[in-house]
Amino acid sequence: MDGIDLRTDGIAVRDRFLTRPQIRALADSARKRRERGGFAAARIGADRRLQRRAEIRGDSICWLTEPLFAPERALLARLEGLRVQMNREAFLGLFELELHYAWYPPGTGYARHVDQPQDRNQRRVSLVLYLNERWEPSDGGELRIFGDDERHRDIEPKGGRLVVFLTDRREHEVLPTRQSRLSLTGWFRSRE
Ligand code: OGA
Ligand code: MN
């Protein structure tokens, strides 16, 4: 079962959401998109104020747009099941999913931030799914999620691991990685 429970502290970590062949197939789809030039340096800010600030955010991203590869389509069908389940259990009013690959080369990270562009709150639930086949603690690149009291939790980007959290004001960062780090990152959005 794919059940995700956000009702306790608004964060859920699910290991082995993907099997090794599924991880490999999605990493392969990402590689094909990259070879076609589908990845671009990520920028920060909103709309006309978007800017590249590699010292804040060093990844390159590629949105999951049509045409989709078969492993991508299969994943989206599963995540649709997750959307329906979360709506049923937590009444989140989730309407659609936006999803992109994120590739961090060695030496990069993403400084502490929240996921809502200013003045907008359609992003209700953040999701990160890691596609790294091998990951060692010495590789860095943890997702650090902060609590209300400055305590934090570090989550290694192990292949197949799914992290889901309520987007609202939740501060988090990607610690500098020493290995090439690949994930799928996205948001379940509400209509308004
Ligand atoms: C993001 C983000 C976390 C991660 O892309 O907004 O916070 O672990 N990613 O990749
Ligand atoms: Mn984020």
Q: What's the token pair of residue 191?
A: 């209509």
| Whole-prediction pTM | 0.94
Residue 2 in any domain: the answer is no
Q: What is the CATH number of the domain that holds 182?
A: 2.60.120.620
Q: Indicate if the alpha-carbon torsion angle 8, 174, 60, 104 is positive or negative.
A: negative
Residue 135 in any domain: the answer is yes
- Pocket lining: 108 vs ligand 1, CB cutoff 6 Å: no
- Pocket lining: 172 vs ligand 1, CB cutoff 6 Å: yes
Task: Tell me what pLDDT residue 118 has.
Answer: 67
Residue 52 in any domain: the answer is no
Domain count of the chain? 1
Nearest to residue 115, comparing CAs of 137, 100, 103, 131? 100
pLDDT tens across the length of the chain (192 residues): 457 888 788 999 999 999 999 999 999 999 999 999 999 999 888 777 788 888 889 999 999 999 999 999 999 999 999 999 999 988 788 999 999 999 999 999 999 999 986 667 799 999 999 999 999 999 999 999 999 888 999 999 999 999 999 999 899 999 999 999 999 999 999 987
- Pocket lining: 11 vs ligand 1, CB cutoff 6 Å: no
**Total Cβ atoms within 10 A of residue 3:** 11
Report how far ligand 2's centroid is from the alpha carbon of 161 (Å).
16
Nearest to residue 158, comparing CAs of 130, 117, 128? 130
Domain span at residue 74 reads 11-37+59-189
Ligand 1 nearest-atom number relative to CA 172 = 7
Task: Tell me what pLDDT residue 1 has.
Answer: 46
- Pocket lining: 128 vs ligand 1, CB cutoff 6 Å: yes
Residue 50 in any domain: the answer is no
Q: What string of DSSP letters covers 123-179?
A: EEEEEEEE--S---GGGB--EEEE-TTS-EEEE---TT-EEEEE-TT--EEEPPBSS
Residue 172 in any domain: the answer is yes
Provide the edge-to-edge strand list for the sheet that holds 162-166: 11-14, 162-166, 123-130, 181-189, 96-104, 60-63, 40-41
Ligand 1 nearest-atom number relative to CA 104 = 10
Task: Tell me what pLDDT residue 75 has.
Answer: 98
